[in-house]
């Protein structure tokens, strides 16, 4: 594609946002798209490649056909099979015109001369040719085919969710080869200690009670008032990708998610359906506490922002300190995300607000974080969701 106009480049920039290319291909914000981000897998660590146009360390010598083959077939310039940490399983669905637009945009990105570290994968996973067999089990090459029985809005949403946005990569469980369990699509999975929740329209296990506006607000601002606030990897997705999507595409995504098969994971109540205000601050007055006390730790570390009642500060404003009542994190059937938020905090910058919660991993012990987590789930969320001190230790040790 030797010649391309500004409209194609602009479209490519938008599509690169949809695909969140910058998130994985940037380890240093001072050199965007230059790669080097460590992706930790059960088989070892993969470092993302440089996709700037530097001819020696990037993709400057790649032809358009090379780029197309990588996106659609998972094969690199020299014929090597790419690892599925690069989501070609989804990108294969993207039209040739959209792939060309992305390439046109990347051709305008400032070239960076930088060679990422070599992958560190255990034998035999370091043998790329074995990906041939992985592909036989987990990869169906081919472009998205619209369903004539569905609306244009549904088809657009399906194209985005199944393709460039690659939502399944986090929200679908994995099989023994680390491929996607297609029978459980979008039913939720654990990624680096974080729970990517069930986003099927099941009323209790998924997001069946969410309105279209809830989905749109969550993807554009990271907030669905009275339901959820994006944290961890999803906060990064919102900040780097989904906040830039236009209203039509966001609505199409909501339409598609509402129509997929609802999957029941056994929850008795929706994640945002738990909780009531607490009054423990009154009960603690004048009393002595012994050992590690969750209520006391909550009041000392969390109540300034989330209120001692757990009702939050700032109501439903984009930058509000969220309520822990009717909150998908405190009401989840596992306490992973709540513990991870306490450990690592929240950093989410959108056009609506700059949201920051401090990390407590350096200030609080595993025992203290477990106590706060269990207090919050008992008082404001799902009381059956608990976490042990040992589990906190495992979550703390997971690379982020």
| pLDDT 10s digits, 176-221 | 999 999 999 999 999 999 999 999 999 999 999 999 999 999 999 9
Confidence of residue 282 (pLDDT cuts 50, 70, 90): confident
Average of per-residue pLDDT across 79-92:
97
Residue 232 lies in a domain: no
Residue 372 lies in a domain: yes
Which residue matches tokens 């994985």? Answer: 24
Kindly write down the DSSP assignment for every residue of 217-231, as one continuous string: HHHHHSEETTTEE--
Here the tokens at position 3 are 């010649």
Total structural domains within the chain = 2
Confidence of residue 4 (pLDDT cuts 50, 70, 90): low
Contact, 350 vs 239, CB < 8 A? Answer: yes
187: exposed, middle or buried (Cβ count in 10 Å: 0-12, 13-18, 19+)? buried
Query: 128, 143, 158: which is the final residue of a domain?
Result: 143
Kindly write down the DSSP assignment for every residue of 231-288, as one continuous string: -HHHHHHHHHTGGGS-HHHHHHHHHHHHHSPP-----SS-GGG------HHHHHTT--
| pLDDT 10s digits, 141-179 | 999 999 999 999 999 999 999 999 999 999 999 999 999
Torsion sign over Cα 265, 267, 268, 272: negative
Which residue matches tokens 């906060």? Answer: 235
In the prediction, which pLDDT does 280 show? 83
In the prediction, which pLDDT does 285 show? 73
What SS3 state is found at 40? strand
Confidence of residue 315 (pLDDT cuts 50, 70, 90): confident
Query: Using only C-alpha atoms, what is the Rg of the chain?
Result: 22
The CA distance from 88 to 141, in Å, is 9
What SS3 state is found at 141? coil
Torsion sign over Cα 107, 112, 115, 117: negative
Residue 311 lies in a domain: yes
The CA distance from 233 to 191, in Å, is 9
Query: 94, 116, 143: which is the final residue of a domain?
Result: 143
Residue 244 lies in a domain: no
The CA distance from 392 to 400, in Å, is 15
What SS3 state is found at 45? strand
> Residues 6 or more apart from 355 whose CB is under 8 A from it?
222, 229, 235, 318, 319, 346, 347, 348, 349
Residue 15 lies in a domain: yes
- Pick the closest to residue 23 from 211, 244, 189, 252 (CA basis): 244
The pTM of the full predicted model, rounded to 2 decimals, is 0.93
| pLDDT 10s digits, 324-363 | 999 999 999 999 999 999 999 999 999 989 999 999 999 9
Q: Is the pLDDT of residue 318 over 90?
A: no
Q: Is the pLDDT of residue 286 over 90?
A: no
Omega before 395 cis (within 30°)? no
Q: Which residues pair with 189 in a beta bridge?
A: 196
Confidence of residue 309 (pLDDT cuts 50, 70, 90): very high
Contact, 41 vs 85, CB < 8 A? Answer: yes
User: In the predicted model, what is the mean pLDDT of the chain?
Assistant: 95
The CA distance from 71 to 66, in Å, is 9
| pLDDT 10s digits, 24-43 | 999 999 999 999 999 999 99
Residue 107 lies in a domain: yes
Residue 211 lies in a domain: no
Query: 143, 170, 193: which is the final residue of a domain?
Result: 143
Element (H, E) at 23: helix 21-24
The CA distance from 97 to 213, in Å, is 30
Q: How far is CA 210 from CA 78, 145, 228, 249, 352, in A?
A: 46, 28, 10, 17, 21
Residue 152 lies in a domain: no
The CA distance from 75 to 170, in Å, is 22
Residue 361 structural domain: 272-397
Torsion sign over Cα 205, 209, 210, 211: positive
What SS3 state is found at 397? helix
In the prediction, which pLDDT does 230 show? 96
Q: Is the pLDDT of residue 2 over 50?
A: no
What angle do the packed helices 336-344 and 366-380 form, to 10 degrees? 130
Q: What's the CATH code of the domain at 349?
A: 1.10.760.10
Q: Is the pLDDT of residue 55 over 60?
A: yes
């Amino acid at each position: 594609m030797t010649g391309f106009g500004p409209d194609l480049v602009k479209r490519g920039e938008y599509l690169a946002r949809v695909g969140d290319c910058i998130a994985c291909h940037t380890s240093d914000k001072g050199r965007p798209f230059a790669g080097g981000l460590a992706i930790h897998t059960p088989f070892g660590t993969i470092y993302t490649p440089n996709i700037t146009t530097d001819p020696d360390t990037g993709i400057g010598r790649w032809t358009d056909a090379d780029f197309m083959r990588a996106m659609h077939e998972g094969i690199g310039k020299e014929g090597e099979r790419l690892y599925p940490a690069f989501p070609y399983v989804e990108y294969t669905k993207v039209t040739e015109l959209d792939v060309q637009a992305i390439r046109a945009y990347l051709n305008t990105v400032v070239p960076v001369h930088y060679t990422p570290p070599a992958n560190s994968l255990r034998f035999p996973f370091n043998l790329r040719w074995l990906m041939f067999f992985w592909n036989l089990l987990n990869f169906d090459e081919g472009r998205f085919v619209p369903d004539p029985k569905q609306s244009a809005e549904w088809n657009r949403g399906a194209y985005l969710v199944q393709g460039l946005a690659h939502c399944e990569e986090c929200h679908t469980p994995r099989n023994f080869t680390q491929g996607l369990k297609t029978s459980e699509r979008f039913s939720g999975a654990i990624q680096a200690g974080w729970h990517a929740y069930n986003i099927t329209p099941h009323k209790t296990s998924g997001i069946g009670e969410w309105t279209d506006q809830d989905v749109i607000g969550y993807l554009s601002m990271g907030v669905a008032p009275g339901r959820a606030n994006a944290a961890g990897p999803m906060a990064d997705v919102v900040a780097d990708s989904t906040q830039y999507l236009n209203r039509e595409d966001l609505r199409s995504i909501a339409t598609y998610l509402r129509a997929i098969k609802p999957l029941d994971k056994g929850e008795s109540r929706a994640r945002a359906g738990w909780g009531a205000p607490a009054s423990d601050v009154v009960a603690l007055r004048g009393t002595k506490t012994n050992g590690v006390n969750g209520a006391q730790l909550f009041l000392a570390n969390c109540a300034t922002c989330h209120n001692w009642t757990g009702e939050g500060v700032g109501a439903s404003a984009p930058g509000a300190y969220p309520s822990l009542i009717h909150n998908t994190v405190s009401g989840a059937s596992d306490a992973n995300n709540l513990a991870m938020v306490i450990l690592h905090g929240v950093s989410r910058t959108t056009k609506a607000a700059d949201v920051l919660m401090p990390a407590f991993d350096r200030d609080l012990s595993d025992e203290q974080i477990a106590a706060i987590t269990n207090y919050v789930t008992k008082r404001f969320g799902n009381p059956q969701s608990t976490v042990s001190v040992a589990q906190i230790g495992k979550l703390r040790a997971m690379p982020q």
